[in-house]
Chains A and B, each alone.
Chain A
Amino acid sequence: MRKTTAITLGVLVLAAAACSNESNEEISHCVDDDGVVVADDSVCDPGYNPVIVPGGIVHHYRWYYGGYRAPQAPGTRLFGGGFVRRPGAVYVTPRVYTTRRISVPQSDGVGHSGPSIDHGGFGGEGHSFGGGGG
Chain B
Amino acid sequence: MIRHTKPVRANWQSIVEGQGLTYHTVDGQPYYDESVYYEFNAKQIDQIEADTNEIHRINLEAVQNVIDNHRYDELQIPEVAIPLIEWTWNNETPAVYGRYDLHYDGKNPSKMLENNGDTPTGLIEAAVIQWFWLEECFKGKDQFNSIHERLIAKWKELVAYLLLGPLHLTHMDSNEDYMNVKYMEEVASQAGLKTKCLPIEEIGWDKIDQCFLDEDLSVIRNIFKLYPWEWLLKDRYAANMAATMKNTYWIEPAWKMILSNKGILPILWELNPGHPNLLPAYFNQNCLNEYVKKPLFSREGANIEIVAGDASIKTLGKYGTGKYIYQQYCAPPNFDGNYPVIGSWVIDGESAGIGIRESNTLVTGNFSRFVPHLFN
A and B from one complex: yes
Shortest Cβ distance from A124 into B: residue: B235
Number of residue pairs spanning A and B whose beta carbons lie under 8 angstroms apart? 207
Q: Which residues of B contact A72 (CB under 8 A)?
A: 173
Q: Which residues of A contact B237 (CB under 8 A)?
A: 121-122
Is the CB–CB distance between B217 and A117 below 8 Å? yes
In the assembled complex, the CB of B347 is this many whole angstroms from the nearest CB of chain A, namely 12
Is the CB–CB distance between A9 and B173 below 8 Å? no
Q: Which residues of B contact A69 (CB under 8 A)?
A: 173-175, 178
Q: Is the interface of B mostly helix, strand, loop or mixed?
A: mixed
Q: Which residues of B contact A99 (CB under 8 A)?
A: none
Q: Which residues of B contact A2 (CB under 8 A)?
A: 45, 142-146, 353, 375
In the assembled complex, the CB of A86 is this many whole angstroms from the nearest CB of chain B, namely 7
15 further interface pairs, Cβ-Cβ under 8 Å (given A11-B185, A112-B204, A122-B237): A4-B145, A9-B19, A11-B182, A11-B189, A12-B124, A20-B17, A81-B26, A84-B28, A116-B206, A121-B240, A124-B235, A124-B236, A125-B231, A125-B234, A133-B299
Q: How far does the alpha carbon of A102 sit from the alpha carbon of B335 in the complex, in Å?
A: 52
If A13-B20, A117-B207 touch, does A126 touch B200 (CB 8 Å cutoff)?
yes
Is the CB–CB distance between A110 and B22 below 8 Å? no
Contact with A along B230-257 (1 / 0, CB 8 A): 0110111100100000000000000000
Nearest first, the 6 A-B pairs at minimum CB distance are A133-B121, A82-B27, A121-B237, A134-B299, A125-B231, A131-B174
Q: How far does the alpha carbon of A69 sit from the alpha carbon of B172 in the complex, in Å?
A: 9
Is the CB–CB distance between A12 and B179 below 8 Å? yes
Q: Which residues of B contact A77 (CB under 8 A)?
A: 318
Partner-B contacts on A (CB < 8 A) = 1-5, 7-13, 15-17, 19-20, 23, 34, 66-70, 72, 77, 79-84, 86, 110-112, 116-126, 128-134
In the assembled complex, the CB of A126 is this many whole angstroms from the nearest CB of chain B, namely 5
Q: Which residues of B contact A110 (CB under 8 A)?
A: 215-217
* B186: Cβ under 8 A from any A Cβ: yes
Q: How far does the alpha carbon of A112 sit from the alpha carbon of B204 in the complex, in Å?
A: 8
How many residues on the B side are at the interface (Cβ–Cβ under 8 A)? 82
* B77: Cβ under 8 A from any A Cβ: no
In the assembled complex, the CB of A11 is this many whole angstroms from the nearest CB of chain B, namely 4
Is the CB–CB distance between A122 and B201 below 8 Å? yes
* B228: Cβ under 8 A from any A Cβ: yes
Is the CB–CB distance between B175 and A67 below 8 Å? yes
Q: How far does the alpha carbon of A126 sit from the alpha carbon of B213 in the complex, in Å?
A: 20
Is the CB–CB distance between A3 and B146 below 8 Å? yes
* B108: Cβ under 8 A from any A Cβ: no
Q: How far does the alpha carbon of A86 sit from the alpha carbon of B17 in the complex, in Å?
A: 14
Is the CB–CB distance between B26 and A12 below 8 Å? no
Q: How far does the alpha carbon of A111 sit from the alpha carbon of B195 in the complex, in Å?
A: 18
Is the CB–CB distance between A4 and B147 below 8 Å? yes
Is the CB–CB distance between B186 and A11 below 8 Å? yes
Is the CB–CB distance between A20 and B22 below 8 Å? yes
Q: How far does the alpha carbon of A8 sit from the alpha carbon of B152 in the complex, in Å?
A: 12
* B18: Cβ under 8 A from any A Cβ: yes
Contact with A along B325-353 (1 / 0, CB 8 A): 00000000000000000000000000001
Is the CB–CB distance between A16 and B17 below 8 Å? yes
* B183: Cβ under 8 A from any A Cβ: yes
14 A/B residue pairs, CB under 8 Å, sorted by A: A4-B146, A4-B147, A11-B185, A16-B17, A16-B18, A19-B175, A80-B23, A121-B203, A123-B199, A123-B201, A123-B227, A125-B235, A133-B299, A134-B120
